[in-house]
Chains A and B, each alone.
Chain A
């Protein structure tokens, strides 16, 4: 006979708060930026170069964004994906709710410590290769809320960020410029080197 123990609500709350406190203690310093791609051109043989070009073209032309948006910048992202600014010309009109299907996380909104484990979990569930764009002042450094008691001072405390887009909120044109920079970064990837 199977005995199933159902968790009670206070136990779940205390377990979650323990996770948040642990994450807060371990996120004291920002994650250092991956700067390998800035190093000089590594010699690659001809076969790898062509394969690289093909893979990178495929990856940068169909970035699927994950919809874990938190706050105000969401509406600028939605404006960018509408027909006026047309993010579909970059192949990015697909927004997937499941992190398993997506390869780009755009951090649209302020991150609080209570939400941080959930965003980290969503990021961990995304499959490689994956990229993160820190959108807006709240994503870069906490923005206007930086000295609040419950706000994470920038997403780079818990996730490695590839491109930072300033603005509060950034205009759709700024977001598209940031996406263009990310596409240039993806072009530098190589399968002979971990991204």
Chain B
């Protein structure tokens, strides 16, 4: 049975690397500040005993005040999982760091989020639209999207 990692397992590991103001736990998920995201992913991927080496999915949600990205990581070796959330309050030009350098599987998923939500990812190898064509206006999955047809 896949066990869900919670604050007891990872709080001690995380607080060695980043300050406690940049993360907090909420309902079995860890909410991280975007600037520390790459550090935490690196730490959680390489620490023995945790080793979250498999990125399962990235979901983007448009809450009206902010965007939220939900990352789901698994560890193939230890059979446990962790959910991580990152919030982006800037709705005009949203931007988040890309984890493609750590997980190759994030490539297409981040392009999909850029295409449908308009969130750009810094240091992504090739960030362009994936499902819609280049001349499409707007980002359809946003709540304030209005189609022109």
Contact = CB atoms under 8 A, between A and B. Distances in A.
Contact flag (A, B; Cβ within 8 A): yes
Interface of A: 10, 13-14, 16-18, 20-21, 113-114, 149-150
A17 B147 contact: no
Given A13-B128, A149-B147, A113 B140 contact: no
A42 to B, nearest CB: 41
B140 A13 contact: no
Instruction: Give the interface size class of chain B.
Output: 10 to 19
A149 B131 CA distance: 12
B134 interface: yes
B135 interface: yes
A21 B135 contact: yes
Contact of B135 (A10, A18, A150): A18
Interface in B105-139: 128, 131-136
Given A149-B140, A149-B147, A14 B135 contact: yes
A13 B133 CA distance: 8
B147 A14 contact: no
B140 A114 contact: no
Nearest to A17: B135
Contacts of B136: 17
Contacts of B149: 149
Closest 5 CB pairs of A and B: A17-B135, A17-B134, A17-B133, A13-B134, A149-B147
A20 B134 CA distance: 10
A10 B133 CA distance: 12
A141 to B, nearest CB: 15
A114 B132 contact: yes
16 contacts: A10-B128, A13-B128, A13-B133, A14-B134, A14-B135, A16-B134, A17-B134, A17-B135, A17-B136, A20-B135, A21-B135, A114-B133, A149-B140, A149-B147, A150-B131, A150-B132
